[in-house]
C-alpha cells in the first residue's frame, strides 16, 4: 500500500516538474543558501518548536537533497530506489502512529526552508496535512523601505503577540487591522483563547476558500480572510457549517476579484450617456416600461439628523429634488441617526426590509456598513457618499470640489491686498488636500506673490486654527447649518469691526447628481459602467461638466474678476482646462507637473502633499479630534 502511495506521489512530482519546465522555471525545490547572501541579513533568532503551516514550506536550506523533490515537494526518484523505500516506510509510520520528531527549518520572509526532514514534509504534504512540528530559526532581513520588507516587520510584531505563523498579507497595515478587529493594540500579548480562536477561524475559512479556487487568485488567503471578516463576523466561522461559508464566499467572490486588481478603484469623471435608440418604437417601449413600473423606492440614510447638520441638509435638498423631478415614479424615505459605531447596519437592514431598492448612505463613516449590506443583498443598489472605497458591491460618489475651490482661489488671489489669504479645511482626507492645493494654485495664477495659510478645523489644538492678522480673505465650509447659521461660509472677507462680507461660495448640486444616478438606473446605463470596468470598485467623481457643481458669486465682485471666473468655468465645463495642468511645485521642492502635461485622476484624487505657496502642513492622526480619527483612517490613507 505504501509503495502505491509513493508511485502516486511520484506521478504528481513529474507532472509538476514538466509544468515548471514548460514555463521556463526551475523545476526543483529552491535552496535558501543559493539566493540569500549572509551580508543581506540582520542576524538570526531561534524561535523554538512551533507547529508551522505546511503550505509555507517552499524549499530546502542547502542544495543537498533539493533535486530529489519537485517544486511541490513530491518525490522525483524512481520507485525502485532506497529513497523510495524510506519514503514509503515513513508514510506507514505516519498513518500508524504519526510523525513525532520535529523537523528543522529556517524561516526567511515568512517562508520555511528545510534543514532536516524533507521526506517528512513530502509525506505529510502527500496526505494533505495542514501543519508539522518544527524547530524554527528565523533569518531576519535588514530593514528597508520596500513594501514586502515593511509587511514582514509588521508580521514579526504580530508573531511576538500571537505566536501564529498561519496568516500572511500583501498590504501594509493589514496585521494592525487584524489585531484591532480582535480587540488588541500593537504590542499587546494575546490570550491563549484569542490565539486559538483566530487560528481555528482562519483554518476553517482557508479550507472552504481553497476548495472554491481561492489559490488561483492574485491575493493571499490572509487578504481574503480580512476582507471576509469585514462583511461576515469571524466568530461565525467557529460554528458555521460548510454550506453557509461557501454561500458567503460566493457572495464575496467579486470583492476578492476586486482586491486582486492592481488598480482596484475606477474613477468615473462623467455620467454614462444613454445611447440613441434605434427607432421611435424603442423610445415608446422604454417609456411604457418606466411608466408602468411600480414606484421606485429610494432611501436616504444619514449618520445624524438633518436639522443639525449642514451636510445632511444639503443632501436632503437633493432628495427633495428627486421627488420634484420624477414625481410619481419615485418614493423616497429618510432614515436618520445611523451612528457609525452603533446601529448603522440595523438601519440599512431596516431600509431594505421596508422595500427600498436604491439606498444612498450619506456619510463616509457608513462605507463598511453599506458594503456589508450590499454583499448580503446583491439585488439592492447601494451608493455611499465618499471618496475612497475598495468595495465593488457598492458605488461611491462625490463632487470634484477642487474645480470650484480653484475658482474661489482665483477670486481670493485677485482681491487680496496683503498677499495673505486663509483656507480652513476640515479633515485631512485625500479630497480635502486636493481642494486646498487647487485653491492655492488658483490664487497663485493671478497673484504669484500670494501665500495661503492652511488651517484644519478638526485638530485638537484651538491655537492651530487661528489665522494671522494679515489674513482678511478666508475660504471655509460651503454648507450652512440650518440650525446654527453663520456668515462664515464659502469665501468671505473679515472686516476690522468683526463683520463679514460674503464674496463667493461653491455649490454642490446633490439633487442633480442624484437625478443622474436614478436616470442611469431607469435607462439601464447603470450596467454599462460595470461592463466597461470588470472587477473594479466604481467611484462617481463628477464636476462642473456634469452640472453638479458651480461657484455662486456676490454682485459686489468686480466685473473683470467675474468675467475671468466665468471664462475659466466654461473652459473647465468643456474639459479644455484642468486646474492641475499648470507648472507647479510641492512644499518640498518636488515639481508635481509641467505646463502642458496632465495628472491622472487617481493622482489628483489621492494627493498627500501641499503646494509650495501653502503655509501650514497636514496634521498627524493623533493631532485630530477623536471623532475625526476613524473617519480619516477610512478615507485618508493613514494606515
User: Torsion angle of alpha carbons 99, 109, 223, 144, nearest 10°?
Assistant: 170
Most confident of 5-19, 62-76, 486-500: 5-19
pLDDT over 90 percentage in the chain: 70
Most confident of 93-97, 291-295, 437-441: 437-441
Between 42 and 264, the higher pLDDT residue: 42
- CA 485 to mean position of chain CA atoms: 35
pLDDT band at 290; cut points 50, 70, 90: very low
Residue whose cell numbers read 523537523: 103
Q: Looking at residue 481, what is its pLDDT?
A: 64
Q: Smallest Cα–Cα separation from 298: which of 360, 353, 349, 346?
A: 360
Q: Looking at residue 121, what is its pLDDT?
A: 95
Cell numbers given for 368: 463598511
Measured between alpha carbons, how far is 248 from 71 in angstroms, rounded to an integer?
33
pLDDT band at 284; cut points 50, 70, 90: very low
Q: Which of 25-29, 130-134, 594-598 has the lowest mean pLDDT?
A: 594-598
* SS3 state of residue 81: coil
Measured between alpha carbons, how far is 50 from 516 in angstroms, rounded to an integer?
58
Model confidence at 395: pLDDT above 50: yes
Measured between alpha carbons, how far is 14 from 291 in angstroms, rounded to an integer?
65
Model confidence at 418: pLDDT above 90: yes
Residue whose cell numbers read 494592525: 176
pLDDT band at 24; cut points 50, 70, 90: very high
Q: Which residues of 581-598 are buried (b: 16+ CB within 10 A; e: fewer)?
A: bbebeeeeeeebbeeeee
Q: Looking at residue 342, what is its pLDDT?
A: 63
Q: φ, ψ for residue 360 (rounded to 5)? A: -105, 115
Measured between alpha carbons, how far is 505 from 216 in angstroms, rounded to an integer?
51
Residue 106: strand pairing partners: 113, 137
Per-residue pLDDT, averaged over 164-176, amounts to: 93
Q: What's the chain's Rg over C-alpha atoms? A: 30
Residue 300: strand pairing partners: 334, 360
- Cβ atoms of residues 157 and 54 within 8 Å: no
Model confidence at 590: pLDDT above 90: yes
Measured between alpha carbons, how far is 440 from 423 in angstroms, rounded to an integer?
9
Cβ-in-10-Å burial (0-12, 13-18, 19+) of 297 comes to: middle
Residue whose cell numbers read 505646463: 595
Residue whose cell numbers read 440599512: 348
Model confidence at 639: pLDDT above 60: no
Measured between alpha carbons, how far is 163 from 58 in angstroms, rounded to an integer?
20
pLDDT band at 636; cut points 50, 70, 90: low
Predicted confidence (pLDDT) per residue in 419-452, tens digit: 999 999 999 988 899 999 999 999 999 999 999 9
Measured between alpha carbons, how far is 404 from 398 in angstroms, rounded to an integer?
13
Quick one: three-class SS letters along 244-266?
Answer: HHHHHHHHHHHHHHHHCCCCCEE
Per-residue pLDDT, averaged over 296-314, amounts to: 91
Q: CA angle 593-598-601, nearest 5°?
A: 110
Model confidence at 407: pLDDT above 90: yes
- Cβ atoms of residues 74 and 9 within 8 Å: yes
Q: φ, ψ for residue 134 (rounded to 5)? A: -150, 145
Measured between alpha carbons, how far is 317 from 486 in angstroms, rounded to an integer?
19
Cell numbers given for 537: 470598485
Pairing of strands 395-399, 381-385: parallel
Computed over every residue of the chain, the mean pLDDT equals 90
Residue whose cell numbers read 504534504: 125
Cell numbers given for 115: 534543514
Predicted confidence (pLDDT) per residue in 246-282, tens digit: 999 999 998 998 888 766 688 899 998 665 554 444 4
Model confidence at 224: pLDDT above 70: yes
Residue 637: strand pairing partners: none
Find the distance separating the first CA and the last CA of the chain, reported in whole Å: 54
Predicted confidence (pLDDT) per residue in 76-92, tens digit: 999 999 999 999 999 99
Measured between alpha carbons, how far is 357 from 299 in angstroms, rounded to an integer?
8
Which contacts (CB < 8 Å, 24+ apart) does range 285-293 have? 286/523, 290/329, 290/522, 291/329, 293/329
Model confidence at 287: pLDDT above 90: no
Q: Looking at residue 274, what is its pLDDT?
A: 65
Q: Looking at residue 23, what is its pLDDT?
A: 92
Predicted confidence (pLDDT) per residue in 526-549, tens digit: 988 888 887 888 999 999 999 999
Q: Smallest Cα–Cα separation from 573: which of 600, 550, 598, 553?
A: 550
Q: Which of 113-117, 212-216, 260-264, 607-611 has the lowest mean pLDDT?
A: 260-264
Q: CA angle 427-429-433, nearest 5°?
A: 90
Between 601 and 451, the higher pLDDT residue: 451
Q: Looking at residue 564, what is its pLDDT?
A: 96
Q: Looking at residue 278, what is its pLDDT?
A: 45
Q: Where are the alpha helices (DSSP H) in 163-274?
A: 174-181, 192-211, 221-231, 242-259
Amino acid at each position: 500500500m505504501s509503495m502505491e502511495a509513493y508511485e502516486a506521489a511520484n506521478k504528481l512530482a513529474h507532472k509538476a516538474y514538466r509544468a515548471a519546465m514548460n514555463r521556463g522555471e526551475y523545476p526543483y525545490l529552491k535552496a535558501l543558501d543559493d539566493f540569500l547572501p549572509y551580508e543581506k541579513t540582520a542576524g538570526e533568532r531561534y524561535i523554538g518548536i512551533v507547529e508551522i503551516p505546511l503550505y509555507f514550506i517552499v524549499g530546502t536550506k542547502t542544495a543537498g537533497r533539493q533535486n530529489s523533490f519537485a517544486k511541490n515537494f513530491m518525490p522525483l526518484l524512481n520507485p525502485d530506489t532506497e529513497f523510495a523505500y524510506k519514503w514509503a516506510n515513513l508514510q506507514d509510520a505516519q498513518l500508524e502512529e504519526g510523525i513525532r520528531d520535529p523537523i528543522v527549518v529556517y524561516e526567511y520572509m515568512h517562508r520555511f526552508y528545510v534543514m532536516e526532514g524533507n521526506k517528512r514534509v513530502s509525506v505529510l504534504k502527500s496526505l494533505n496535512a495542514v501543519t508539522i512540528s518544527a524547530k524554527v530559526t528565523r533569518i531576519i532581513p535588514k530593514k528597508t523601505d520596500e513594501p514586502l520588507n515593511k509587511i514582514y516587520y509588521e508580521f514579526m510584531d504580530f508573531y511576538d503577540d500571537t505566536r501564529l505563523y498561519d496568516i500572511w498579507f500583501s498590504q501594509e497595515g493589514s496585521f494592525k487591522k487584524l489585531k484591532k478587529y480582535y480587540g488588541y493594540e500593537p504590542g499587546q500579548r494575546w490570550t491563549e483563547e484569542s490565539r486559538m480562536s483566530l487560528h481555528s477561524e482562519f483554518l476553517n475559512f482557508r479550507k472552504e476558500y481553497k476548495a472554491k479556487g481561492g489559490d488561483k487568485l492574485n491575493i493571499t488567503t490572509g487578504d481574503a480572510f480580512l476582507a471576509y471578516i469585514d462583511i461576515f463576523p469571524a466568530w461565525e466561522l467557529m460554528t458555521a457549517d460548510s454550506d453557509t461559508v461557501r454561500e458567503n464566499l460566493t457572495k464575496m467572490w467579486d470583492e476578492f476579484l476586486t482586491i486582486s486588481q492592481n488598480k482596484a478603484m475606477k474613477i468615473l469623471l462623467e455620467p454614462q450617456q444613454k445611447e440613441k435608440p434605434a427607432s421611435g418604437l424603442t423610445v415608446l417601449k422604454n417609456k411604457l416600461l418606466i411608466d408602468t413600473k411600480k414606484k421606485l423606492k429610494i432611501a436616504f440614510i444619514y449618520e445624524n439628523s438633518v436639522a443639525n447638520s449642514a451636510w445632511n441638509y444639503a443632501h436632503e435638498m437633493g432628495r427633495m429634488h428627486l421627488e420634484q423631478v420624477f414625481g410619481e415614479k419615485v418614493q423616497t424615505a429618510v432614515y436618520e441617526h445611523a451612528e457609525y459605531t452603533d446601529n448603522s447596519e440595523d438601519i440599512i437592514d431596516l431600509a431594505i426590509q421596508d422595500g427600498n431598492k436604491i439606498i444612498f448612505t450619506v456619510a463616509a463613516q457608513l462605507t463598511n456598513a453599506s458594503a456589508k449590506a450590499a454583499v448580503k443583498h446583491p439585488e439592492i443598489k447601494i451608493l455611499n457618499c465618499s471618496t475612497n472605497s475598495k468595495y465593488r458591491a457598492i458605488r461611491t460618489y462625490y463632487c470634484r470640489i477642487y474645480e470650484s475651490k480653484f475658482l474661489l482661489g482665483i477670486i481670493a488671489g485677485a482681491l487680496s491686498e496683503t498677499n495673505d489669504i486663509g483656507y480652513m479645511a476640515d479633515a485631512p482626507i485625500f479630497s480635502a488636500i486636493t481642494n486646498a492645493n487647487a485653491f492655492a494654485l488658483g490664487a497663485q495664477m493671478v497673484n504669484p506673490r500670494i501665500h495661503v495659510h492652511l488651517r484644519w478645523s478638526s485638530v485638537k489644538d484651538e491655537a492651530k486654527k487661528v489665522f494671522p492678522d494679515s489674513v482678511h480673505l478666508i475660504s471655509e465650509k460651503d454648507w450652512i447649518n440650518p440650525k446654527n447659521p453663520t456668515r462664515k461660509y464659502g469665501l468671505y472677507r473679515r472686516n476690522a469691526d468683526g463683520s463679514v462680507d460674503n464674496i463667493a461660495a461653491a455649490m454642490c448640486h446633490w439633487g442633480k447628481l442624484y437625478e443622474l444616478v436614478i436616470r442611469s438606473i431607469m435607462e439601464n446605463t447603470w450596467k454599462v459602467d460595470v461592463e466597461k470596468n470588470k472587477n473594479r470598485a466604481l467611484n462617481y467623481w463628477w464636476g462642473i461638466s456634469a452640472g453638479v457643481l458651480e461657484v455662486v458669486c456676490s454682485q459686489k465682485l468686480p466685473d473683470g474678476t467675474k468675467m475671468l471666473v466665468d471664462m475659466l468655468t466654461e473652459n473647465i465645463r468643456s474639459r479644455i482646462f484642468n486646474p492641475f495642468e499648470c507648472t507647479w511645485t510641492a512644499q518640498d521642492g518636488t515639481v508635481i507637473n509641467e505646463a502642458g502635461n496632465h495628472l491622472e485622476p487617481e493622482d489628483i484624487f489621492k494627493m498627500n502633499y501641499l503646494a509650495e505657496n501653502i503655509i501650514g502642513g497636514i496634521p498627524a492622526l493623533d493631532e485630530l479630534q477623536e471623532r475625526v480619527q476613524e473617519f480619516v483612517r477610512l478615507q485618508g490613507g493613514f494606515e
